[in-house]
Chain A
Amino acid sequence: MGRLMQDVDADLVRRARHGDEKAFGQLVQRHQRFAFNVACRVLGERSVAEEVTQEAFVRAWRALPGFRGDARFTSWLYRIVHNLSLNRLPSLRRELRMAETPEELLADNGPSPAASLEASEKLEFLHAQLPRLPRKYRLVLTMRYLEEMTYQEIAAELDLPMGTVKTHIHRARRLLTDRLEEWETSGTAAERDREED
């Protein structure tokens, strides 16, 4: 997030802390999409993600007078979203502490490719694979790539050792490269079969 965006947020937060609903409304407009996506990626269901986003903003509003402003508003808001999402999925906390071998997670490989493997198609394939990843991987990847948190910040937020966070991110990426490799291989094979016909 840019400096200007942060300054605007800080000003809106200052006003909202004193009960200015319009200022908070602007914060909602600015951040609802990201907050909704954070919830949606972890929870997987739009309707549940909507409820969690709504609840997160209401909680943020209620607690705003106590928000000291030494953290970014978005970091604080996403933390509320994470906590509410984890509350909805009580087993996720346990899953985050467990480390399966990637082979155990390879069961769902998704659709096979059609034929040619253009870069945009690869990207499309990978984007289609992301929601199929185990939810604990979706959570850490969202924190890393959407919220741009460091490994250390993720570890602190989820109360996990940093090594565990790194392992989850490594395995998630490995899972995706394996799926991409399989997809490329099967795509190349299909193309070769067609050429032979």
Chain B
Amino acid sequence: VANRTIAEINLQAYLDDELEPESEAMVRQRLAASAEARQQLNRLQEVNAALESWPLAAEPPQLSRRIMAGIRSSPQLRPFRVRWADLAAGAAAALLYSAATLLWSRVASGGQAAHTTAALARLARLGVAAVRSAQNAASDPAVACGLLSTAAALVTAALTLPFWYPTLREEAVSLLGGQAE
């Protein structure tokens, strides 16, 4: 049974043109010597012909009408796409928000204008440095925008959270070069 199976596998592979030249030569020898092998090959060819000509059934007559009715009640799903312009605008807004929060905090707590200006100047320098780093890190503007957005989000969080949570406030102010009131 095992020999027969191997012989059949080889015959099928021979028909599929998948044998190495050496194995192919062996199959040819076997075919030349054995009427049974030739008959087997003949049957395999008939099976292959049947598979290749497997008739197509006609589709139900109303199928396309039903499909189109289904489509009319099914809106297409628009894929989510990242728009880099939106991300860049978001980054700018985040930085502005950070600056405004810082300014408001200083004014509300009676901080000195010079300190506030210095802190804003540091923030601006930080922004410029972030832009340069992003440009250096990524030659692709889209990737640079992505890096900037991430940086802006981090800066926003770092700058604004301490002012909403007073325990972190002193450290944040000293980090920006000011004096905690």
* A residues lining the B interface (CB < 8 Å): 19, 21, 24-25, 28-29, 32-34, 36-37, 40-41, 46, 50, 53-55, 57-58, 61-66, 119, 122-123, 126-127, 130, 141, 144-146, 170, 173-174, 176-177, 180-181
Of the stretches B57-65, B103-111, B156-164, B168-176, the one at the interface is B57-65
Q: How far is A143 from B141 in the complex, measured between Cα atoms in Å?
A: 44
| B126 CB within 8 Å of chain A | no
User: In the complex, how many angstroms separate the beta carbon of B137 from the nearest chain A beta carbon?
Assistant: 28
User: In the complex, how many angstroms separate the beta carbon of B80 from the nearest chain A beta carbon?
Assistant: 9
* B residues lining the A interface (CB < 8 Å): 8-9, 12, 40, 43-44, 46-60, 63-64, 66-68, 70-72, 74-79
Contact partner of B57 (CB less than 8 A), chosen from A37, A61, A63, A141, is A37
Q: Can you report 7 A-B residue pairs in the complex whose CB atoms are below 8 A from each other?
A: A32-B63, A36-B57, A37-B59, A46-B57, A126-B47, A130-B51, A141-B51
Across the A-B interface, give the 8 residue pairs with the lowest CB-CB distance, nearest first: A126-B50, A66-B79, A36-B59, A58-B70, A177-B43, A57-B67, A176-B47, A145-B51
Contacts A145-B54, A170-B9 given; does A28 touch B67 at CB 8 Å? yes
User: In the complex, how many angstroms separate the beta carbon of A55 from the nearest chain B beta carbon?
Assistant: 8
User: In the complex, how many angstroms separate the beta carbon of A35 from the nearest chain B beta carbon?
Assistant: 8
| Cβ-Cβ contact count across A and B, 8 Å cutoff | 110
User: In the complex, how many angstroms separate the beta carbon of A162 from the nearest chain B beta carbon?
Assistant: 12
Contacts A21-B68, A32-B67, A180-B46 given; does A58 touch B54 at CB 8 Å? no
CB distance A127 to B58 under 8 Å? no
- B interface, by DSSP: helix, strand, loop or mixed? helix
User: In the complex, how many angstroms separate the beta carbon of B158 from the nearest chain A beta carbon?
Assistant: 37
Collect the chain A residues with CB atoms within 8 Å of residue B77's CB.
62-63, 65-66
Contacts A21-B68, A46-B57 given; does A177 touch B40 at CB 8 Å? yes
CB distance A177 to B54 under 8 Å? no
When C-beta atoms are compared, the residue in chain B nearest to A50 turns out to be B60
CB distance A180 to B43 under 8 Å? yes
CB distance A28 to B68 under 8 Å? yes
CB distance A33 to B56 under 8 Å? yes
CB distance A62 to B75 under 8 Å? yes
User: In the complex, how many angstroms separate the beta carbon of B91 from the nearest chain A beta carbon?
Assistant: 27
Q: How far is A41 from B56 in the complex, measured between Cα atoms in Å?
A: 10
When C-beta atoms are compared, the residue in chain B nearest to A19 turns out to be B76
Residue in B9, B58, B72, B76 whose Cβ sees the most chain A Cβ within 10 Å:
B76
CB distance A58 to B50 under 8 Å? no
When C-beta atoms are compared, the residue in chain A nearest to B71 turns out to be A61
CB distance B71 to A34 under 8 Å? no
CB distance B47 to A40 under 8 Å? no
Collect the chain A residues with CB atoms within 8 Å of residue B79's CB.
65-66
User: In the complex, how many angstroms separate the beta carbon of B5 from the nearest chain A beta carbon?
Assistant: 8
Collect the chain B residues with CB atoms within 8 Å of residue A130's CB.
50-51, 54
CB distance B56 to A37 under 8 Å? yes
> Beyond the given A61-B74, A173-B51, A177-B47, could you list 19 further A-B residue pairs with CB under 8 A, ordered by the A residue number?
A21-B72, A28-B67, A34-B56, A36-B63, A37-B59, A54-B66, A54-B70, A58-B74, A61-B71, A62-B76, A65-B78, A123-B46, A130-B50, A130-B51, A130-B54, A170-B8, A170-B9, A173-B47, A180-B43
User: In the complex, how many angstroms separate the beta carbon of A186 from the nearest chain B beta carbon?
Assistant: 15
